[in-house]
Structure 1
Amino acid sequence: MRHRHWLSLGCLTALLSPLPAAAQSHVSINGLVDVGIYRGFDGTAQAGTIQRSNLAIAGWEDLGGGLKATFRLSARFDIDTGRMEDQGSKPFWHDESTVGLQGGFGHLRMGRALSAMWSQDWKFDPWANFNRISSPAWYQWHYLTPTDRYSNNGAAEYGRMANGLFYDSPTFGGFTLHLSASPERTEAPLTLRREGRGYSASLNYDSDSLSGMLAFERNGSGDRDTFAAAKYRFGAAAVMAAWDYSRVAQTALSAKAVTLGATYQVGATTLKAGYGRQTMQEQTNHFYSLGADYALSKRSTLYASIGRKSYEYGVDSGTSFGVGMAHAF
């Protein structure tokens, strides 16, 4: 009986002894589901995604000492057909596929993601560079400089860098630095040659009322893009302006774009207006747009958009308008 007593006491002591703390971790599923009915600039009636739908799985694990391991997998899809966006040309995890470390030094990731410039520029467009009807940014920024000319099975990729390193600094006095680069040379499949290495940098400033950005990007083909933007918020209103200069390395072709935007919130409704002017060689293109978002809740929005392309030589000119619904989760 005495042996049983000591055995039971030993088991109880072991159960009550402090155990090593389990590492905290968190995984979430989030994204945006968007669908609408609209008339394209070519006059064709369409039903489908206006602001692009995406599904993301993201998470982190606390490694201790203020250090976290992170990951993000994000895919884009067309809700009207259920297919992946541009299925067959773009990779499945087209939006992002990264793993990284985050701490007091900032956030370092590896994989495929938006370049430093593209990951920050959306703040300076009323439609967050994310509306195929009314976003001036969508049609006029970075016009001649895709981040990679060949990464989508030989087709150009505007915005995302594959085989990349991505760094976001801590904030110092309102300033943050964002960097991206690839250690691999760009492959040009049509000519069977290897080109240069792409890189991008963005310096951003944010305060309660004022935001600004200065960025530069060079892709592996040598094309270059310089971007500057600012936004000022006062009360329920915000005004913003951006300037972009893109140029092709192998030719003298270049494009300059200046865009203006404004938003004004009245209760659950946000009114939007945009304008863009693009000059490319001897051609000048204008873009005008209006829109309104109505917040059904923090996550669900009804919206209406209208855009007008006015191109100097008439090609691709037209008016597009539509209504849609978006739900973030």
Structure 2
Amino acid sequence: MRLFHRLPLGFASLLAAAALPAAAQSSVQISGYLDAGVFRDFDKTSKLGTIQRSNLALSGTEDLGGGLQATFRLSTRFDLDTGAPEDAGRKPFWHDESTVGLRGGWGHLRAGRALSAMWAQDWKFDPWANFNRVASPAWHLWHYLTPTDRASNNGTAEYGRMANGVFYDSPTLAGFTLHLSASPERTAAPGRDGRARSVSLNYDQGPVAAMLAHERNGSGDRNLFLAGKYSFGALALMAAYDRSRSGDTPDKARAATLGATYALGATTLKAGYGRQRLNDDTHHFASLGADYALSKRTTVYASLGHQRYEHQPSRTAFGVGMAHAF
């Protein structure tokens, strides 16, 4: 504004008019997901809190011309029942994502912190989108020995997000997309250190969806993930196989999960089952749920999960909640 004060009025007006089209080609959005519920957890305690996760995000694009866009996304996760950041003091404020990037006909390239290629795509093959602590078989059984980074949360493990990363999502070709993520920095952690990398090849066309992914974190832990989904109108069936191995111990885990959703008007019924082989122990997980859409953005839901783990007593959790997306 001080520059405009120094210029002749007519010339300043001309500059302002010239700037308007550029401003019109940029956009910033505020979005989020709010979730809270009352549930009895597997530890037999009653709680009010997040059955799913809550987040607040700022994202935007700028048209650079020639089909090229600049992008950014900043997203933080928090506990709706207390208003506190998720795991305050341990996880970074922009825990969910903090990236800047470029997008064009060749794909989308970002840098910063975000879900790794495998974790960003696996949710499609679980009835609860790997997003429900009561009922999701994926939440409890997948990627068991393979944190994305063993030490990025002030010395504790991070499951899902890669810090100091570069992320690439390809355009769709004949139903196929390729997703890559890697860090140029070595990750220091107990046992081993190295550079993390993740790749996911996805197919999604018509009633069929499939995914093949492999991830190696900076500590040498490895994960192989294979999944498929088929939709018959209102019914969708899904299956997944996950194998994770520790980089510095003989530990290994294999998990197979099955899931189904059935849309009945505003109600979506869900069912899931998973079996995990953790070294010599066998664990089972079964669940049921129902979502009722009050609108396109607001849903109420009920969730039930049952664990039968070897050397442990059977445990059941159940809860009801409400979620609003904006």
Output the TM-score relative to the length of structure 1. Answer: 0.92
Q: Which string of whole-angstrom CA distances, capped at 9 and with x for unpartnered residues, describes residues 227-256 of structure 1? A: 000000011010000000000011111000
- Find the residue that maps to 1:187 and give its secondary structure: coil
Distance 1:285 1:259 in 2: 12
Distance 1:195 1:243 in 2: 27
Q: Which string of whole-angstrom CA distances, capped at 9 and with x for unpartnered residues, describes residues 285-316 of structure 1? A: 0000000000000000000000000012116x
Partner of 1:139: 140
Matched, 1:55 2:52: no
Matched, 1:319 2:321: no
Partner letter of residue 182 of structure 1?
Answer: S
Distance 1:307 1:206 in 2: 29
Which of the numbers 260, 267, 290 marks the counterpart of 1:269?
Answer: 267
Partner of 1:222: 220
Matched, 1:232 2:230: yes
Distance 1:321 1:280 in 2: 25
5 Å matches for 1:25-174?
25-174=26-175
Which 5+ residue runs of structure 1 have no aligned equivalent? Answer: 1-10
Partner letter of residue 114 of structure 1?
Answer: L
Partner of 2:250: 252
Partner letter of residue 258 of structure 2?
Answer: L
Residue 19 of structure 1: CA displacement?
A: 4.8
Tell me the number of residue pairs that the alignment of Structure 1 and Structure 2 aligns: 312
Partner of 2:6: none
Question: Identity percentage over the alignment?
Answer: 70
Which of the numbers 287, 292, 295 marks the counterpart of 1:294?
Answer: 292
Structure with the greater alpha carbon radius of gyration: 1
Distance 1:281 1:225 in 2: 15
Partner letter of residue 22 of structure 2?
Answer: A
Residue 22 of structure 1: CA displacement?
A: 2.1
Distance 1:298 1:280 in 2: 40
Which of the numbers 198, 201, 207 marks the counterpart of 2:199?
Answer: 201
Partner letter of residue 322 of structure 1?
Answer: G
Q: Which string of whole-angstrom CA distances, capped at 9 and with x for unpartnered residues, describes residues 25-53 of structure 1? A: 11001010000000000110000110010
Distance 2:211 2:167 in 1: 18
Partner letter of residue 35 of structure 2?
Answer: D
Residue 325 of structure 1: CA displacement?
A: 0.3
Distance 1:281 1:34 in 2: 35
Partner of 1:4: none
